[in-house]
Amino acid sequence: MSNGALRLHVPEPSARPGHLTDFSYLHLARAGEVRRPPIDVAPADTADLATTLVRVLDDDGRAVGPWLPQLDANDLRSGLRAMLKTRAYDARMLIAQRQKKISFYMQCLGEEAIATAHAGALRDGDMCFPTYRQQGLLLARDDIDMVEMMCQAMSNQRDPLKGRQLPVMYSYKRAGFFSISGNLATQYIQAVGWAMASAIKNDSRIASAWIGDGATAESDFGTALTFANVYRAPVILNIVNNQWAISTFQSIAGGEASTFAGRGVGAGIASLRVDGNDFLAVFAASQWAAERARSNLGPTLIEWITYRAGAHSTSDDPSRYRPADDWSHFPLGDPVARLKQHLVAIGAWSDREHEAAQQELDAEVSAAFKQAEQSGTLLDGHIPPLATMFEDVYKDMPEHLREQLRQAQELEC
Ligand SMILES: Cc1ncc(C[n+]2csc(CCOP(=O)(O)OP(=O)(O)O)c2C)c(N)n1
Ligand SMILES: [Mg+2]
């Protein structure tokens, strides 16, 4: 009984270091159990899909249910390779940071299925507005040279962004990868604006917006949902719920009493809550959302349930705030192991092939790193010339910038 004194509720994770997390808060569903509505479903009629969990792969590696996508064994093997490549790339870059060859790094360990499977549902010309954990969108493509990505992370002489961006903040217009911004959530509203512009121009390209569970607490998130809903913008609104926002549990951003996907339904947007560690479910849901956008049926919000298996970044120590063995108990497992299990179950893969693919990709990443190092690392102290800071903003540099450049150069000598 209350004695009249008011108090706030401050959500907490179920376990801190040294204890066992109770993952029942995730509210899972069985694989194959969730319906797949037609793409012209009314947004309000997706309310149940925003609280349950769309899954295709079951615990035995069988692919079941209405969301089963049409992917053949070759597609699945290349999906597995894309995930393995992303994991190998991250592992090498993490070492590079420990060797002081790059200043900072962010891996996507445990979340590889989301970006790599989503990439397969998009078309050339579509534009992603990613955060810093979607390197899989680039690494799943054949036309992006990993060496160049490494050069960006090293800010070296081959860095296409000339040292102006933090490591991992890539930018690839030709690959539909909008420049990453460190100011969280800004890219969400930009994606909706880009999608609206595409429709205003009667173009056929769609946008894909990316945000983490924690960053949904930013006001740009709500603004983006309003614009996307009102104008039925051709955009996919991805929320990667990896349970943590640095040391802050997802419940602090509002994931305790309701789901993040539920925000979409509340804003009048068709929404899904999907197993983000299930490559097949990610592909199927992404394809469903892309088809809706391409058919002028408006935005789709998808909450991907996953787990950030590594540290937030190389500046973080997760053993301070969460149980060290959390990932090994996460009920949705490891996306790589789950797709491998499925491929083995259908007779399209083996342990031997898996090991060979892993070794081949490790060698590819090592060779790429050696090549990237030829253009310098953080250790050799290369800094792009000061003047480059003023370039590439305006076609013709305005007088006030020329004046600032002159002043800066005077200070330099
Ligand atoms: C506007 C803004 N606020 C705070 C930060 C600092 N910051 C960087 S990452 C991060 C956590 C984000 O967590 P989440 O959105 O869940 O993404 P995740 O790192 O889990 O992928 C914070 C608070 C920032 N970069 N921008
Ligand atoms: Mg997060």
Question: What was the pLDDT predicted at 193?
Answer: 98
Residue nearest (by alpha carbon) to ligand 1 atom 3: 184
Using the structure block, give the residue that is written with the tokens 């079941």: 64
User: 10 Å Cβ neighbour count for 99?
Assistant: 11
Compute the distance from residue 248 Cα to the ligand 2 centre, in Å: 8
Q: Using one digit for the tens of pLDDT, what is the confidence trace for 222-258?
A: 999 999 999 999 999 999 999 999 999 999 999 999 9
Per-residue pLDDT of the chain (413 residues; tens, 9 = 90+): 668 999 999 999 999 999 999 999 999 999 999 999 999 999 999 999 999 999 999 999 999 999 999 999 999 999 999 999 999 999 999 999 999 999 999 999 999 999 999 999 999 999 999 999 999 999 999 999 999 999 999 999 999 999 899 999 999 999 999 999 999 999 999 999 999 999 999 999 999 999 999 999 999 999 999 999 999 999 999 999 999 999 999 999 999 999 999 999 999 999 999 999 999 999 999 999 999 999 999 999 999 999 999 999 999 999 999 999 999 999 999 999 999 999 999 999 999 999 999 999 999 999 999 999 999 999 998 888 888 888 888 999 999 999 999 999 998 87
Please name the helix (run of DSSP H) or strand (run of DSSP E) that holds residue 403, with its range, or none: helix 399-412
Between the CA of residue 303 and those of 2, 50, 225, 297, 387, what are the distances in Å?
36, 8, 14, 19, 43
Compute the distance from residue 324 Cα to the ligand 1 centre, in Å: 21
Compute the distance from residue 211 Cα to the ligand 2 centre, in Å: 8
Residue nearest (by alpha carbon) to ligand 1 atom 13: 245
User: Ligand 1 atom closest to Cα of 253?
Assistant: 16
User: 10 Å Cβ neighbour count for 255?
Assistant: 23
Compute the distance from residue 215 Cα to the ligand 2 centre, in Å: 8
From 184, 187, 321, give the residue whose CB has the most ligand 1 atoms within 8 Å, as the site to mutate: 184
| Cα-to-chain-centroid distance, residue 183 | 15
Compute the distance from residue 250 Cα to the ligand 2 centre, in Å: 7
User: Within 6 Å (CB) of ligand 1, which residues are found?
Assistant: 133, 182-184, 212-215, 218, 240, 242, 244-246, 308, 312
User: Ligand 1 atom closest to Cα of 308?
Assistant: 20
The alpha carbon dihedral of 209, 212, 216, 218 has a sign of negative
Compute the distance from residue 214 Cα to the ligand 2 centre, in Å: 5
Compute the distance from residue 212 Cα to the ligand 1 centre, in Å: 7
**Smallest-distance ligand from the CA of 109:** 1
Between the CA of residue 77 and those of 81, 108, 222, what are the distances in Å?
6, 20, 38
User: Ligand 1 atom closest to Cα of 218?
Assistant: 1
**Smallest-distance ligand from the CA of 241:** 2
From 111, 242, 246, 314, give the residue whose CB has the most ligand 1 atoms within 8 Å, as the site to mutate: 246
User: Ligand 1 atom closest to Cα of 246?
Assistant: 11
Compute the distance from residue 284 Cα to the ligand 2 centre, in Å: 23
User: Ligand 1 atom closest to Cα of 111?
Assistant: 21
User: Ligand 1 atom closest to Cα of 312?
Assistant: 19
Question: What was the pLDDT predicted at 1?
Answer: 61
**Smallest-distance ligand from the CA of 184:** 1
User: Ligand 1 atom closest to Cα of 213?
Assistant: 16
pTM, two decimal places: 0.97
CA distance 350 to 385: 51
Strand partners, 283: none
Strand partners, 244: 249
CA distance 228 to 235: 7
Compute the distance from residue 306 Cα to the ligand 2 centre, in Å: 9
State residue 133 phi and psi, 5-degree precision.
-120, 25
CA distance 60 to 125: 37
State residue 45 phi and psi, 5-degree precision.
-85, 10
User: Ligand 1 atom closest to Cα of 131?
Assistant: 21
Q: Using one digit for the tens of pLDDT, what is the confidence trace for 134-179?
A: 999 999 999 999 999 999 999 999 999 998 999 999 999 999 999 9
Compute the distance from residue 123 Cα to the ligand 2 centre, in Å: 27
Phi-psi region of 4 (alpha: psi -120 to 50; beta: other; left: phi over 0): left
User: 10 Å Cβ neighbour count for 7?
Assistant: 6
State residue 236 phi and psi, 5-degree precision.
-100, 125
CA distance 324 to 328: 9
